[in-house]
Structure 1
């Protein structure tokens, strides 16, 4: 089966969606499919080699932005678009993401979801024509539902089934300012009627999006995200220097403030001597102020030297990052749709402590590699971390269960197998 998977790139940092997509396409190709991942907006940043031979940016982020802001930009020569879509220019533009105004974010999201009626459509229309003349897939797969503005045209003009992955879009849409928030959700519900099948990464998120999109339960299949567990080594932490890890984007929403406060509380108690905190993950220019504020808080608490920061690491450095962790926690403040970082920790033999909400209870139950605690409560998190750090036997049990759980339920091959079943369901016989 020829599968075209459209994935927005980030240009300069890793994101869970891109990592999942790359692993999925590689595993589908291993199953014999002619699966291609085509980047949109910005160049892809993956933690391993790209799944398929490089394909140029199909829809450039700079051109798309200018088309939304300047209606006359659609009339500029195509050579200008090609110049703007050069990878080096897109990577330069990516450095400024995170500084975009709330109004711009709303306008851009709505512009993409409006499809043919939006200002961005001339750019998207070129993608449609490329799919028709060169891509020629049996199935189009969209990395996330914010791309659904394409679905009505693909269904009507190309007659190709579209599978749409759901990857936590609600946490973005619900933060948009009015009137864009409701306008975007209205466009999402309208576009959802033209989707062949949705794929959710957890039962929790399938239920959330079923209600928000107004679709039936049988329109959403659950396919757990997966990874290549063999790429991670098993951690061997120093028992004399316990280390708490965090590996996700360095933002408040991922719970970094909660974890820092819990770490300060844990150090204040003195029940776990010499405990350290190791923070890694994506950091953009827009995150700099927030990170500086947390560093000041730790400095004021006299703990600056017990904390390490590892922003924007490559894959080999990420593997090394996990090797000396004793436990890990990414206590997200919202209902996380999945959390690939949980799998990465468990694949490294590191047990996790996560808040009792979102997909976390489901994933921990399926893997057996962690415990949960009260959400958004630094003291409750400090309690849970202290208990686990002081109980070698429990940590060993969680480590062994997590390693087995990731390999059995959350491998890239298992993800592709489940995704393959969805493709077989939607492809015309």
Structure 2
């Protein structure tokens, strides 16, 4: 089977790019012809011509400040302001500066911005349709929601089966509260031949949000390449609570530190290990977070920023448990990696987290509106090492049964082949 995967290409590794890589390599391993193509570093909102209405919608983008940080959007501003923004930018400051620019300057900025990335999308879409028409793949898989504008031209100009892979990070917190935009996305999605959701939770939510029928949406759990994850021989002797993900104020890390401090009342030697993606704009936040623990306690907080993939596994292996703090906005596939290494997890009882834990029994769910619940769950694992080991074993077995790249590819091919057969 010939497959073209249009990936979002975010510029740094995240759950979606890991999923796309695992899907591509697993399909290639069993003999399928798979190509991956991505549009790097594009904005995710396409304007509708109303520059004034465009401002709040643009500023809802989670990564807008990265664009300011690296100068991608600031070349139309005065040089002095460019330098100031690159040096000091945070998301709230980016929002403040842009909305407080003089009216004429803001409109000029937005017109140039819209012209730039509309042209980028048009060029990409045109190239994509031309490439697909030339390559004639059996299946075109769109792994970014923002590529759904390609569905109609692909259906019109090619014979390829068009499928959409909704990312696990897609949820009510990560989409803008813009009804027109959501209706537009839903209109495009309904033209796709089939849609894959990352869980039953995502399927229900997508059907409701985008007005999709349940028959067109199929559950395909994200899978990991299991050969990279071998079960560890033993847990660390001293307690180590770990977090791995984006190190940002939105990740709920303040609550995690509070939980850890209360756990240390029972386990004075317990350490807190924080790893993941840390951008320069959040180093001050991290410093303040450590100071909030107190001079004595912060010596037991260890930070491992921007680890390469191989060191990430070592980081997870050395934890007593992996914790997802309350208030964390994004689903984090790192819990699958931790369970594959037989590391028990403590996660909020909501959304996809609850679904995964019910399938694997690889950790404990807690009420994310009650910090006491998280503290109790953490203490249960640290106090009973035999029980924690059982949870780790369950987690590994659950990942093998439900969340490997082979499971993901099997589900993908099953649904795709059904559609190809129906087409004749």
TM (normalized to structure 2)? 0.79
Counterpart selection for 1:295 from 270, 290, 311: 290
Deviations, residues 303-343 of structure 1 (Å, cap 9, x unaligned): 2111111111111111110121111111352675x531111
Counterpart selection for 1:422 from 403, 409, 415: 415
Distance (Å, rounded) in 1 between the aligned partners of 2:285 and 2:189: 36
Counterpart selection for 2:340 from 323, 331, 347: 347
Match of 1:21 in 2: 20
Distance (Å, rounded) in 2 between the aligned partners of 1:233 and 1:413: 16
- Provide closer, same or farther for how the CA distance between residues 92 and 21 of structure 1 changes in structure 2, counting only shifts above 3 A: same
Distance (Å, rounded) in 1 between the aligned partners of 2:138 and 2:70: 35
Distance (Å, rounded) in 1 between the aligned partners of 2:382 and 2:215: 43
Deviations, residues 89-141 of structure 1 (Å, cap 9, x unaligned): xx976898x9575689xx99x989xx9x98842442222222222x4311110
Deviations, residues 203-260 of structure 1 (Å, cap 9, x unaligned): 1111011100101111110011111223124335665411011111113443323212
Match of 2:187 in 1: 190
* 1:256 maps to 2:257: no
Q: Is the deviation greater in 301-310 or in 319-328?
A: 301-310
Match of 2:243 in 1: 246
Q: SS of the residue aligned with 1:248?
A: strand
Distance (Å, rounded) in 1 between the aligned partners of 2:136 and 2:15: 28
Match of 2:351 in 1: 358
In 1, are the aligned partners of 2:197 and 2:221 still within 8 Å (CA)?
Answer: yes
Q: Which has the higher contact order (CA 8 A, sep 6+)?
A: 1
In 1, are the aligned partners of 2:133 and 2:157 still within 8 Å (CA)?
Answer: no
Match of 1:31 in 2: 30
Match of 1:162 in 2: 162
* 1:227 maps to 2:198: no
Equivalent positions of 1:301-316 (< 5 A) are 302-316=296-310
Q: SS of the residue aligned with 2:187?
A: helix
Q: SS of the residue aligned with 2:357?
A: helix
In 2, are the aligned partners of 1:3 and 1:139 still within 8 Å (CA)?
Answer: yes
Distance (Å, rounded) in 2 between the aligned partners of 1:409 and 1:367: 8
Q: Is the deviation greater in 231-240 or in 135-144?
A: 231-240
In 2, are the aligned partners of 1:235 and 1:325 still within 8 Å (CA)?
Answer: no
Distance (Å, rounded) in 2 between the aligned partners of 1:303 and 1:188: 48
Distance (Å, rounded) in 2 between the aligned partners of 1:290 and 1:68: 33
In 1, are the aligned partners of 2:361 and 2:394 still within 8 Å (CA)?
Answer: yes
* 1:329 maps to 2:328: no
- Provide closer, same or farther for how the CA distance between residues 247 and 334 of structure 1 changes in structure 2, counting only shifts above 3 A: closer
- Provide closer, same or farther for how the CA distance between residues 371 and 196 of structure 1 changes in structure 2, counting only shifts above 3 A: same
In 2, are the aligned partners of 1:146 and 1:169 still within 8 Å (CA)?
Answer: no
* 1:378 maps to 2:379: no
Distance (Å, rounded) in 1 between the aligned partners of 2:136 and 2:326: 40
Distance (Å, rounded) in 1 between the aligned partners of 2:72 and 2:271: 33
Superposed displacement of residue 421, structure 1: 1.0
Distance (Å, rounded) in 2 between the aligned partners of 1:245 and 1:397: 19
Q: Is the deviation greater in 214-223 or in 248-257?
A: 248-257
In 1, are the aligned partners of 2:231 and 2:340 still within 8 Å (CA)?
Answer: yes
* 1:274 maps to 2:269: yes
Match of 2:393 in 1: 400
- Provide closer, same or farther for how the CA distance between residues 203 and 213 of structure 1 changes in structure 2, counting only shifts above 3 A: same
Match of 1:2 in 2: 2
Deviations, residues 167-198 of structure 1 (Å, cap 9, x unaligned): 13334653x3x7xx223212111111211111
- Provide closer, same or farther for how the CA distance between residues 157 and 111 of structure 1 changes in structure 2, counting only shifts above 3 A: farther
* Aligned Cα root-mean-square deviation (Å): 3.3
TM (normalized to structure 1)? 0.78
In 1, are the aligned partners of 2:174 and 2:329 still within 8 Å (CA)?
Answer: no
Q: SS of the residue aligned with 1:359?
A: helix
Distance (Å, rounded) in 1 between the aligned partners of 2:369 and 2:13: 25
Match of 2:54 in 1: none
- Provide closer, same or farther for how the CA distance between residues 252 and 122 of structure 1 changes in structure 2, counting only shifts above 3 A: same
